[in-house]
Amino acid sequence: MQILLRNPLADPYVLGVSGGAAVASLIALMIGVLTNFLYLWAFAGSLLSMLLVIGLAHNRDGFSSLRLLLTGVVVATGWGAMISFILTISPQTNLRSMLFWLMGDLSYAHFSYWQLLILLLGLLISFVFAKPLNVLARGNLTAQSLGVNPRRLSWMLYIISSLLTACAVSMAGCIGFVGLIVPHMLRLVGNSDHRFILPGSVLLGGSLLTLADTLARSVMAPIQLPVGVVTAIIGVPCFLFLLRGNYKK
């Protein structure tokens, strides 16, 4: 998403994609949708949110990184208001578990072969587009001159990003900043090749999430903190550093 949207601050949480998946999941839970179909609702919500951000930020001249970022923040705020409304009208018996899930909670996460299959397929399909992404990082004109179709590549990766975001939110809730800081941590190593970034993000992102979950369970034991609180404590300073030091537009 950072390459597609030409924005070093792009990630599903900041742009409101995770919020769209969360709202759709909460609505599905309220109307009694079976857990097995929760992924479909989350996928629809995340895809709708991504299309909404791109559609609102786009004009005749395309879209700028600044307008896209601001649109994503506004859409994320709107989804946050929707989440607050849903929580307000929800039964008190479910309120605590819903709040924990929204802030990130791995207590109810369980292993599923479907989740593993979606992760592997998403990584495999993304890895196929690693070289075109390397070319696209140099700009649309360069990509077109080298035989890459930016529009087709963008739509494919928008759909994959929405699907993977929906699966993550359905399983663990909205855990922010992992998708933002992990790719930059890998780029600091000195390798911007997406054949390295994509699998590295899976391994480092999973490791960071495991570390955050361990801290959330142990720092104030026996009280368990939401995982999203720990990742936010780590991610907010990194976000401000990127905003101040790297984001020039």
Residue 112 CB contacts under 8 Å (≥ 6 apart), including other chains: none
- Integer Cα distance of 220 and 41 in angstroms: 34
Question: Could you tell me if 239 and 177 are in contact, meaning their C-beta atoms sit under 8 angstroms apart?
Answer: yes
Question: Is 69 a residue whose pLDDT tops 70?
Answer: yes
The 10s digit of each residue's pLDDT in 161-202 is: 888 888 888 787 778 788 888 888 888 887 888 889 888 988
Q: According to DSSP H, which parts of the chain are helical?
A: 17-30, 38-57, 65-89, 92-102, 113-128, 130-136, 140-145, 150-172, 178-187, 194-218, 227-245
Strand partners, 59: 62
Mean pLDDT of the chain: 81
- Integer Cα distance of 152 and 96 in angstroms: 43
The 10s digit of each residue's pLDDT in 27-60 is: 887 777 666 677 788 888 888 888 888 888 777 6
Question: Could you tell me if 50 and 25 are in contact, meaning their C-beta atoms sit under 8 angstroms apart?
Answer: no
The 10s digit of each residue's pLDDT in 86-123 is: 888 877 766 666 776 677 777 767 777 887 888 888 88
Architecture of domain 17-245: Orthogonal Bundle (1.10)
pLDDT level of residue 149 (50, 70, 90 thresholds):
confident
